[in-house]
Amino acid sequence: MRSKTVFIIIFTALITIFLMINTDAVEFNFIFVKKDISKLLVVGVCTFVGFVLGFWAGRPKTTVSSYDREIDQHDNKNKLSDEDRDYIQ
- For residue 70, the SS3 value is helix
Instruction: Kindly tell me if the per-residue pLDDT of 13 is higher than 90.
Output: yes
Q: Can you give the pLDDT at residue 62?
A: 67
51-69 tens-digit pLDDT:
899 888 887 776 655 666 5
Confidence of residue 88 (pLDDT cuts 50, 70, 90): confident
Give the best-scoring range by mean pLDDT among 8-12, 16-20, 64-68: 8-12
How far apart are alpha carbons 38 and 50 in whole angstroms? 18
Q: How many CA atoms lie within 13 A of 9 on its CB side?
A: 6
